[in-house]
Amino acid sequence: MTTELSLIKVLVVDDHPLSRIGLKYLLDEAKDISIVGEAVNGEQAITVAERLQPDVVLMDVGMPVMDGIQAAKRIRQKNPEMRIIMLTSHENDEDIFASLSAGVNGYSLKDINQNRLLTAIRAVYAGDFWLDTAIASKVVNVLSTARLPSTNATSPIAESLSPRELEVLNLLVEGLSNQQIADRLIIGLETVKTHIKHILDKLAVTDRTQAAIKALRDGIV
């Protein structure tokens, strides 16, 4: 007896027709992904996302009428469970951090290859946070230079984290997915999720991005 494959519903948002065609071409062969709709600007994306309720939104950063960052913020306010991956042609620090502040679940350059795009979609759908390698290194570098001045006193938050939670937090800051953390530490996926939940509680943040930013900013890792 075969079980029906659960499809990941994807909404493609880009003002350039060729970009939308390219994304659809990359996703077409994936049997677990279905493109349920398209939008050509941020304002339209909000309306279409509300109507179609996709699992994942692939959103261009720079668009007319309303950019992807503002649209992502509005979509996340209406539906916090909807996953958003921002796509851009440029490694612009301002756009990267504005997108992360808007609560997106992933950020990638548009020249991403098919396998990595599929991995990104599946990762954010599963609840992970995903960053393009080039973007991840930039985020870490920028946040590392933006840390608060260190003090001789050990951070109370750092002291509240167990040695294993600190290991998980370090790997989270590196941009690893839950499964990659599990593989690196040779522990179960559910154990990783439990550690991350405890980390978020102890850092008083609501998601992985905020945890990474706070860990770097406060010198916890």
Instruction: Please check whether residue 1 lies inside any domain of the structure.
Output: no
pLDDT exceeds 80 at position 61: yes
Instruction: Please check whether residue 2 lies inside any domain of the structure.
Output: no
- Using a pLDDT cut of 70, give the percent of the chain over it: 86
Q: How many domains, in total, are found in the chain? A: 2
- Using a pLDDT cut of 90, give the percent of the chain over it: 42
Instruction: Please check whether residue 179 lies inside any domain of the structure.
Output: yes
Domain hosting residue 193, numbered range: 148-217
Domain boundary among 141, 157, 188: 141
pLDDT digits (tens, 9 = 90+) for 137-175: 666 666 555 444 444 345 677 788 999 999 999 888 776
Same domain, 19 and 106: yes
Identify the weakest region by mean pLDDT among 27-41, 47-61, 84-98: 84-98
Q: What is the mean pLDDT of the chain?
A: 84
pTM: 0.67
Instruction: Please check whether residue 3 lies inside any domain of the structure.
Output: no
Specify the pLDDT at position 143.
Answer: 57
Domain boundary among 100, 117, 141: 141
Specify the pLDDT at position 56.
Answer: 97
Specify the pLDDT at position 34.
Answer: 94
Question: Which CATH number characterizes residue 191's domain?
Answer: 1.10.10.10
Length of the chain: 221
